[in-house]
Amino acid sequence: MHLIRKATQILLGATLIYTGTLHLTTSRMEFQAQVPPWVPFSPDFVVLASGVVEIALGLALISLQIRREVGIATALFFIAIFPGNISQFVNHIDAFGLDSDRARAIRLLFQPLLVLWALWSTTALPKDFFKRLWNYVKKTIRENKVATVIGILIGGVGTRFLEDGNLLVTTVLTGMSTVGVLAIRLFFGFVQVSQGNRTAE
């Protein structure tokens, strides 16, 4: 298992070096199409900067040094660029052959897998992570049933405005909206608890 983790880490590093190089060369214009319009920098700067970061992370992964820290940094990078994939999906932007909502929805599914790949291959995932995550998800849904239903309804209704509203697209959008609503609900719950603790003091 240890050798498999190292091999997958090296593979991820090589992939990042390759895609980072594309950021700087042949696919520079296509990557610009994925930059959300609200980003306060020019699309070209974002593409070039992210390409440099990808190459740096790829080299760090291949070196097999400081594995956990590099794994966490890579996972955070994948999370940071996820809004670009969401923007491409929501705004129906064609790039890299993703010319339908279905194709763009499938692309969205891979980003969480990349995060897990970075963490798992570098041994950055805590022990029994998946079991604890599943238990946490069940508990969160059970304790926030109204928020869960609202998220599902938002995803279902939102699908009607897309050009390719098939089951896969509905599932992806519903999942994203449900997670978003639950995150907002948990955030406000945390704020209320914090304010209650300050009042008690």
For 40-80, what is each residue's pLDDT tens digit? 889 999 999 999 999 999 999 999 888 899 999 999 999 99
Q: Does pTM top 0.85 for this prediction? A: no
Co-location of 69 and 32 in the same domain: yes
Beta bridge partners of 193: none
Model pLDDT, residue 10: 95
Q: What is the pLDDT of residue 172?
A: 79
d(CA 87, CA 78): 15
Residue 138, domain extent: 127-201
Write down the pLDDT at residue 16.
Answer: 96
H helix runs in 26-166, sequence order: 28-32, 43-63, 67-80, 82-90, 101-121, 129-143, 145-159
Question: Number of structural domains, the chain?
Answer: 2
pLDDT in 10s for each residue of the chain, 201 residues? 688 889 999 999 999 999 999 999 988 888 888 888 888 889 999 999 999 999 999 999 999 888 899 999 999 999 999 988 888 888 878 877 777 777 788 888 888 899 999 999 998 887 787 788 788 888 888 888 888 899 888 888 877 777 666 777 788 788 888 888 888 887 777 666 566 555 555
Residue 76 confidence (pLDDT): 94
| pLDDT of amino acid 166 | 72
What's residue 200's pLDDT? 55
Are 118 and 197 within one domain?
no
> Alpha-carbon distance 163 to 104, whole Å?
12
Q: What is the largest CA-CA distance in the chain?
A: 60
End-to-end CA distance of the chain: 50
Residues 86 and 135 in one domain: no
28 and 8 part of one domain: yes
Asked which of 101, 125, 149 is the last residue of a domain, the reply is 125
Q: Which amino acid is at 90?
A: V
Same domain, 72 and 94: yes
